Amino acid sequence: MAHLDVLFPGLVWFLCLFSFLCSLPKATCNKTEDDRQALLCFKSRLSSQAGVLASWSNTSLDVCGWHGITCSTMSPRRVIALDLESEGISGSIPPCIANLTSLTRMQFSNNSFHGKIPSELGTLSQLSNLNLSMNTLEGNIPSELYACSQLQILDLGSNSLHGEIPPNLGQCKNLQEINLSNNKIQGSIPSSFANLPALRRLVLASNRLTGNIPPSLGSSPSLTYVYLGMNALTGIIPKSLANSSSIQVLWLMNNNFTGELPKALFNTSSLLKISFRRNNLVGHLPSVTATSPSIQYLDLRDNHISGRIPSSLGNLSSLIDLLLMENDLVGSIPDSLGHIPTLQRLALSVNNLSGTVPPSLFNMSSLTYLGIANNSLGGSIPSNIGYTLPNIQALILSANKFDGPIPASLANAYNLHMLYLNSNSLTGSMPFFGSLPNLEELALAYNKLDAGNWGFISSLTNCTRLTKLMLSGNNLQGKLPSSIGKLSDSLEWLWLRENKISGPIPLEIGNLKSLSSLYMDYNLITEYGMSEEISTKGDVYSFGVLLLHIMTGCSPTDKKCNDSASLHEFVDRAYPNNIHEVVDPTMLQDESNATEVMRSCVIPLIRIGLTCSITSPIERPDMEQVSTEILSIMHVASHMGVI
């Protein structure tokens, strides 16, 4: 009998195909069911916000419709992505997640996953994106991850991982981004990272890494972003990093690097942002020889760099931020810096610079921050500075040798937030700054300024954002105006010490409800309503009034004080038996032992406030006695767990 395949070859081919097709549903079903069981296993280890994983049901067979799941478009439809970012999920990551053998993306960032990273993830041969950042994962980084041959993005940042970085991660030749920042990782940076041909971003900041930067790292052909700050790295900064033709961002701040800056640093063809802040670098600033360097941000603060500022820094024509403060720089400020058209922030404070400031610096319309404090710079401040620095937000000229008047044109610098002119030799009357709506901090202390008719205080009442007003150590004379109580509700610091202020303390000063630092000593101030000889205990009185204000939430002129003549009298009427009627109720609302806190802390503090604000200066305690009593109360409060 003839063989069937000879007589009917087409039939045999058909039967074989039919047999194959019949087997597909079973195989497909098996793979799909494997994915489904892996997901249900994963869910069983989690707790999530209500409804987030409600679709992950044991009764639902189509996993491709489940929340956060992406499946392949071709049959068999396999789970290829898990996207559960910021879902409020907590729990551990079980090994069964590795049964999703077609997974290419695992995005679990910004949740509350804890425990260890399962080593089984190393079996996911298709995985290209692994993001477990911003969780509370612990343990070591699994060395098995090297087997994820398709891995392009590895982000394990902001966890509590420890141990060393597995050197064999350098075998993942497709890696483009590595982020292990904000962990507790120790050891050194693997030199194998320099052999990753596709690596673009390397972020290892805020760990406990030690040792040197591998010199070969700078030769990585694709590397554009290097962030190694906030570690304990040592040695010199490799020349290869400065000579790189690809690195654009180089953050090495807060380490222990030593030696000099690479000579080629400012002549790079690629670097845009450089920060070597807070290291132990020495030597001089290198010259700029390139025609148009691309550097936009240069931060070398808090090192030991010495010598003069090279005028060639002015050739950094794209520079936006130049931060050289807290070094050992000497000489004058080069005029060329004032001709960088893009410069917005210039910080040269805390050096040994001298001479006058180049006029070009005071004529930079692009500047938002100018900090040249704590040097030996002199001369007068240009009278038109308020017009020539139209975008200035912070002007920090303190602790120098500037003289002459404070230019009235500064009242036109509408963007000013911070004005620090303290510790110079400025003369004339206090300017009127009420036209500066954004002013938050004003420091004019330790100059030779006078108060005029004190109208500058009334002007400052328009500055509703003012938090710090420092006027100590000037020639302010006469009585404090009552308008001082109309200063910003946000005012925290009021420094008036070491002047020649006399007369009573205005009751209205108690309206400054946010005040936390009040210095009025070394004046000739008397207390409100007193006509006797000038008292040396005026500050004790001020302290007492302030303490009563804090404890009651009631200012000296508040209507809540009923018919009392003063805040002192208002509180004294209730002390001690009815003191609960005047104490600010918010002070005790969170205390489980409120009665004991009232007896041991609140009442003793109110007693101090009353004795400090008593009518007769002779009967008041001195501040040494007051300090001793408050320390004793703080000791009791500490044992009670109140502070």
3-state secondary structure 200-231: CEEECCCCCCCCCCCHHHHHCCCCCEEECCCC
Q: How many CB atoms lie within 10 A of CB 3?
A: 9
Helix (H) or strand (E) holding 243: helix 239-243
pLDDT 10s digits, 91-134: 999 999 999 999 999 999 999 999 999 999 999 999 999 999 99
Is the predicted pLDDT of residue 527 greater than 60, yes or no? no
pLDDT > 70: percent of the chain:
90
pLDDT 10s digits, 73-87: 988 899 999 999 999
Cis bond before residue 190 (omega within 30° of 0)? no
In a domain, 154, yes or no: no
Burial of 454 (0-12, 13-18, 19+ CB in 10 A): buried
In 87-150, DSSP assigns E strands to: 90-92, 105-107, 112-116, 129-131, 136-138
Of 624 and 344, the structure prediction assigns the larger pLDDT to: 344
Give the pLDDT confidence score for residue 468 in this predicted structure: 96
Give the pLDDT confidence score for residue 21 in this predicted structure: 41
Cβ(550)–Cβ(542) under 8 Å? no
Is the predicted pLDDT of residue 12 greater than 70, yes or no? no
pLDDT > 90: percent of the chain:
67
In a domain, 91, yes or no: no
Residue 452: HSE in the Cβ half-sphere, 13 Å Cα cutoff? 12
What total number of domains does the chain contain? 1
Is the predicted pLDDT of residue 537 greater than 80, yes or no? no
pLDDT, mean of residues 433-449: 97
Give the pLDDT confidence score for residue 31 in this predicted structure: 78
Is the predicted pLDDT of residue 1 greater than 50, yes or no? no
Of 467 and 631, the structure prediction assigns the larger pLDDT to: 467
In a domain, 537, yes or no: yes
CATH number of the domain within which 562 lies? 1.10.510.10
In a domain, 111, yes or no: no
In a domain, 532, yes or no: yes
In a domain, 590, yes or no: yes
Is the predicted pLDDT of residue 489 greater than 60, yes or no? yes
pLDDT 10s digits, 18-74: 444 444 444 445 778 999 999 999 999 888 765 788 899 888 888 999 999 999 998
Left, alpha or beta for 101 (phi > 0: left; psi -120 to 50: alpha)?
alpha
Q: Per-residue DSSP letters for 562-574?
A: TT-SSHHHHHHHH
Give the pLDDT confidence score for residue 446 in this predicted structure: 95
- Model confidence at 589, pLDDT cuts 50, 70, 90, reads low
Burial of 634 (0-12, 13-18, 19+ CB in 10 A): middle
CA distance to 540, 573, 591, 599, per residue, from 576 (Å)? 21, 8, 20, 10
Is the predicted pLDDT of residue 343 greater than 90, yes or no? yes
Q: Which domain holds residue 590?
A: 527-639
Cβ(349)–Cβ(373) under 8 Å? yes
Is the predicted pLDDT of residue 274 greater than 90, yes or no? yes
- Model confidence at 529, pLDDT cuts 50, 70, 90, reads very low
Give the pLDDT confidence score for residue 559 in this predicted structure: 58
3 state SS for 426-472: EEEECCCCCCCCCCCEEECCCCEEECCCCHHHHHHCCCCCCCEEECC
**Eight-class DSSP state of 494:** E
Cβ(508)–Cβ(480) under 8 Å? no
- Model confidence at 560, pLDDT cuts 50, 70, 90, reads low
In a domain, 554, yes or no: yes
> Helix 538-552 crosses helix 623-639 at what angle (to 10 degrees)?
30
Burial of 206 (0-12, 13-18, 19+ CB in 10 A): buried
Is the predicted pLDDT of residue 533 greater than 60, yes or no? no
Give the pLDDT confidence score for residue 350 in this predicted structure: 95
Cβ(264)–Cβ(241) under 8 Å? no
In a domain, 634, yes or no: yes
Nearest CA-CA partner of 321 in 368, 252, 255, 263: 368
Of 451 and 639, the structure prediction assigns the larger pLDDT to: 451
> Long-range contacts: 182-187, Cβ < 8 Å, 24+?
182/157, 182/158, 182/206, 182/207, 183/156, 183/157, 183/158, 183/159, 183/207, 184/160, 184/208, 185/141, 185/161, 185/209, 186/162, 186/210, 187/163, 187/211
Helix (H) or strand (E) holding 323: strand 321-323
